[in-house]
Amino acid sequence: MTKYFVISDVHGFYNEMVAALDASGYDSTNPNHTLISCGDNFDRGPDNEKVMQFLLRQPNVVLLRGNHEDLFDEACLQGVSMRDYMNGTVDTIVQFGNNSHKLDWTVDDMLLRAYKHTKILFDKMVDYYETDNYVFVHGWLPDVKNWRNADIFAWRRARWYNGMEKAFHGCYEPSGKTVVCGHWHTSWGHSRINNTSEWGKDADFSIYRNKGIIAIDGCTAYTGKVNVLVIED
């Protein structure tokens, strides 16, 4: 039986990611251990390059695409917008696109360099991963009858969904599998179940479990912590 170590929304915080994985017992040399990243590996944190190289080194790894991976591709291929400054995408592009610290790079040079530099990782990413009892996604399942056959546009929309809210409204995986997701800070769900605050001193950013869902985004950029879900299946 495979033991899965699931992370999400690391957002370039390499040290926090490694510390959490070490504490969870993850061992990349163990053939029965598989690392799953539910996306949003970059933006906001200082060590996007280290996060990328770490993921590429793992022998058993599943990489899901998050909305920030979509934002990164859009910025590189279509040009940056004000949203990209707010989301941290521009900082990520600078880290990847000007890591030689060359002073005469143009903006287009940096965008192209960043895109080419990360392509080896992005080419490994998928929309979802499925085991006997779980489906792993970034935000939630697409709003289509057969979600496995959803087109690229439906998956792009689904990566922005708040999975906890979807589950609250009864939007479960049709066959009864539990959906494991990131994207939305888990304090949102805890605040509605346990009457804690969403952002206050009593906010709970631990792993959220409810019918049909396990949400794991610990809002690392805010809390400095990465949640690691460990399951066997």
pLDDT digits (tens, 9 = 90+) for 120-129: 999 999 999 9
**Contacts of residue 154, Cβ cutoff 8 Å, sequence gap at least 6:** 142, 143, 144, 147
Predicted TM-score (pTM) of the model is 0.94
Domain that holds residue 56: 3-232
Please give the tally of structural domains in the chain.
1
Question: Given this model, what pLDDT does residue 208 score?
Answer: 98
User: What one-letter code names the amino acid at 75?
Assistant: A
Q: What angle do CA 214, 175, 180 make, to 5 degrees?
A: 15
Q: Would you state the torsion angle of the CA atoms of residues 52, 53, 59, 65, taken in this order, to the nearest 10 degrees?
A: 10
Q: Give the pLDDT score at 110.
A: 78
**CATH for 48:** 3.60.21.10
In the predicted model, residues of the chain with pLDDT beneath 70 are 98-107
> Is the Cβ–Cβ distance between 11 and 45 less than 8 Å?
yes
According to the model, what pLDDT value does residue 103 have? 46
pLDDT at residue 79 in the model = 86
